[in-house]
Amino acid sequence: MQMASFCGGIFMALIVKKFGGSSVATPEKIKNVAKRILHEKSPKDQIVMVVSAMGDTTDELIALAGQVAETPYQYSREMDMLMTTGEQVSIALLTMAFRSMGQNAISLTGAMAGMRTDHAHTKGRILDIQPARIHAELSKGNIVVIAGFQGTDDEGNPVTLGRGGSDTSAVAIAGAIGADACEIYTDVDGIYSADPRIAKGARRMREITYNEMLEMARLGAGVMQPRSVEMGQLYKIPIHVRSTFTSEPGTIIREEYTMEEKSFIIRGVTHDEHVSKVAVLGVSNVPGVAHEIFSALAAANIDVDMIVQSLRSAESSITDMVFTVASMDAVEAKSVVEKISDKIKADAVVIDDDVAKVSVVGAGMLGSPGIAARMFGSLSDVGINIEIISTSEISISCLIKGGSVKDAVNRIHDAFFPSN
């Protein structure tokens, strides 16, 4: 999908194409990416590539850091200095591949491309993109190959953008340069109604709205990260999710539907196993306790998702405050709450890592009674207990035991997407 302009009798398009780590995992795959781009490129097209680190490079760099420091993330600036090297390898090799095939190309780090971030090392947010260098290189006939996942703060320090940062980089760059579209190439051929590795009947969607994709991403759909979808919606850039390894049409994320997809009440079933449950036990049921807990967590830059407060009995003024956080934040969240436990008179703070979240998403559930009942009934049928429930206008989420995810996803998916 290209919303091209017409110049001198030839259609031309300005397109950002992002390739993930699995797409550039080996030198051979890097050469194949370069060949594909050149095969699909029209003579007047202007192409910006955004590339992740090769294969498991990021994990290997984290492991290296762990060999020299027991808790390396406490040195967050140095972790960013280390992590940004992975993408620099990828962009250099891909640029060499293009040039060896006769195509002018140049590699740029996030900083060179004008990516400006805040100071939050390992969890940076994009503040601004100054794309003058990108436009200058495009005007010279170069394919511009940019390191995803990274930018620089106002002091020149490297800052990485956290999970899914390369997708966020790509969509933000597309918005900043006024691209016609942003294509995200992955190891799957589009957005599915559930993870096809788990749900046997998962179906590929031809299109999905920003709002539904944002909710699915927030609730665990790993193909896209929430911030990248937010960027697409902000800049009104269509996002085309495609496979690196096939020519399948993939899925287009846009503002409104243009096909029959809108007939589905539920668009997807998601799951997230990277969550932990934190229980603050034995606090008084009085005003201000929740404020103390969640203000402290916010000050530590810890996102909280599902929350439930339960009285121990009708006669008791003692309550338990239970919430979920990302697994990587669980230990820090426990520490933060323990520091104020005397103030809130908590008996204990307990972490449970053996949990997962399953959700249904769809704008069609508005005004469609019975969605929650069907979801809960599906879980009940296979003996899965629900620990916490949360809802939004277009989603319902349940926290369950971690070992029940596969059964839960399949039963819920079958309820809303019957095979016949």
Average pLDDT across the chain, whole number: 92
Of the candidates 214, 167, 233, 220, the residue with the CA atom closest to the CA atom of residue 362: 214
> Residue 135 CA to chain centroid, in angstroms?
27
State the pLDDT at residue 263.
62
Q: Which CATH architecture has domain 5-186?
A: 3-Layer(aba) Sandwich (3.40)
pLDDT tens, position by position, 48-102: 999 999 999 999 999 999 999 998 999 999 999 999 999 999 999 999 999 999 9
- Answer yes or no: is pLDDT of 283 > 70: yes
Residue 256 has what DSSP assignment? S
Q: How many CB atoms lie within 10 A of CB 39?
A: 7
Per-residue pLDDT at 31:
98
For the chain, the domains span 5-186
What lies within 8 Å, CB to CB, of 199 at 6+ separation is: 192, 193, 269, 409, 410, 413
Tell me which residue has tokens 């008179």.
Answer: 345
Alpha-carbon distance 296 to 322, whole Å? 15
Joined tokens for residue 256: 């409104």
Contact (CB, 8 A) for 328 and 163: no
What 3-state DSSP class applies to 19? strand
d(CA 77, CA 415): 47
Residue 2: the pLDDT is 42
User: Sorting pLDDT into bands at 50, 70 and 90, what band is 12?
Assistant: confident
Label residue 310 by pLDDT band (50, 70, 90): confident
Question: Per-residue confidence at 13, pLDDT binned at 50, 70, 90?
Answer: very high
> What per-residue confidence (pLDDT) applies to 259?
62
Q: Which of 19-28, 91-100, 244-253, 343-352 has the lowest mean pLDDT?
A: 244-253
- Per DSSP, the three-state class of 68 is helix
Q: Is the pLDDT of residue 5 over 70?
A: no
The DSSP bridge pattern shows strands 115-117 and 126-129 to be: antiparallel
Burial of 366: CB neighbours in 10 Å, binned 0-12, 13-18, 19+:
exposed
95-104: long-range contacts, CB 8 A cutoff, minimum separation 24: 95/145, 97/30, 97/31, 97/33, 97/34, 98/34, 98/37, 98/38, 98/143, 98/145, 101/34, 101/35, 101/38, 103/34, 103/38, 103/143, 104/140, 104/141, 104/142, 104/143
Percent of the chain clearing pLDDT 70 (strictly above): 96
Q: pLDDT tier at 7 (50, 70, 90 boundaries)? A: very low
| Mean pLDDT on 160-186 | 93
Q: In whole angstroms, what is the distance from residue 7 CA to residue 27 CA?
A: 36
Higher pLDDT, 304 or 363: 304
Q: Which range among 107-111, 151-155, 249-253 shows the weakest confidence by mean pLDDT? A: 249-253
Q: What is the per-residue pLDDT for 262?
A: 55
Q: What does the block give as tokens for 409?
A: 């996803």
pLDDT at 252: 94
Placement of tokens 């090769």 in the chain: 54
- In this prediction, residue 369 has a pLDDT band, given cuts at 50, 70 and 90, of confident
* Token duo for residue 9: 């009798």
pLDDT for position 298:
95
Three-state SS string across 77-146, please?
HHHHHHHHHHHHHHHHHHHHHHHHCCCCEEEECCCCCCEEECCCCCCCCEEEECCHHHHHHHHCCCEEEE
118: left (phi over 0), alpha (psi -120 to 50) or beta: beta
pLDDT beyond 50 at 10: no
pLDDT at 224: 86
Coil/strand/helix, residue 152: strand
Average pLDDT of the segment spanning 332-346: 95
pLDDT for 285 beyond 70 = yes
pLDDT of residue 366: 79
- Residue 311 pLDDT class (50, 70, 90 cuts): confident
Does 8 score more than 70 pLDDT?
no
What is the percent of the chain where pLDDT is above 90?
A: 80
Using DSSP's 3-state secondary structure scheme, residue 323 falls into strand
